[in-house]
Homo-oligomer: A and B are copies of this chain.
């Protein structure tokens, strides 16, 4: 059980918010989950870019400067921890979906202790394809908004089997991502990862892997991936900011090994710059 050791709402140490909040009523908001190492937010600039894009898409006038200042303050004396920022449109000023424009965004920050590291996962995880599909919406794709029922239902699917992660496809049957991770396939000398412009999340660790692969001269392409292509991949790995890179050692009934490309990228991630 990982419960937060610090919670703030609009900068105040309280653990409640009004039931009129549009985040509750409609999932009307965005979030970021940020890792802290030695008092600093890792990949702060990338998190900030995604948060800005989310606020732009939802027409949410969040004070992003103030949000990051608070996150940095929460990180300051921490060796390792996880910070979550939730930004909602604030209280509903009328009944119904309509936005009046006078709403005042609300900022919630939660600090969680660093979870027990799962050393075994760095040697490979078990992944199963789930039935729950990701709906497609160009307006909502890529950003980390609060409408996450698809991920919740996918997690419920894998809870019984004890798999580490569920692999999700879109309503138009492309491979998109894990429930909490992005996915990469290695085909011969090329790395491919699904586009996230119709569904899926533009993960910060995904962006870091793409950047570092390019810097290292590895061939990497964002593309449409059909489920049948999974069988051709010589390596498969998952990414997110907490786990870093997880090699996949079982994908449905297929066994895989953590391969040389995955190992090379894993080695690069520990000391990657911001």
Q: Which of the segments A120-128, A130-138, A214-222 contacts the partner chain? A: A130-138
A152 interfacial contact with B, CB 8 Å: yes
This chain's copy number in the assembly? 2
Known: A2-B94, A108-B19, A135-B171. A155 touches B99 (CB 8 A): yes
Do the beta carbons of A19 and B7 come within 8 Å of each other? yes
A1 contact from B4, B94, B198, Cβ within 8 A: B94
Interface stretch, picked from A139-147, A205-213, A255-263, is A139-147
How distant is A2 from chain B, measured CB to nearest CB, in Å?
5
Q: Which residues of B contact A73 (CB under 8 A)?
A: none
List B contacts of A26 (CB < 8 A).
27, 146-149, 151-152
Query: Does A238 count as interface, using CB distance less than 8 angstroms?
Result: no
Q: Tell me whether B150 and A148 are in contact (CB under 8 A).
A: no
Q: A108-B19, A137-B135 are in contact. Are A97 and B148 (CB under 8 A)?
A: yes
At the interface, is chain A mostly helix, strand, loop or mixed? loop
Stretch among A10-18, A40-48, A182-190 lining the B interface = A10-18
B93 touches A1 (CB 8 A): yes
- Proximity string of chain A (141-185) to chain B, C-beta cutoff 8 Å, 1 when within and 0 when not: 000011111111111100100000000000110000001100000
Q: A31 contacts the other chain (Cβ, under 8 Å)?
A: yes
Scoring A3, A84, A140, A152 by chain B CB atoms within 10 A of each residue's CB, the highest score goes to A152
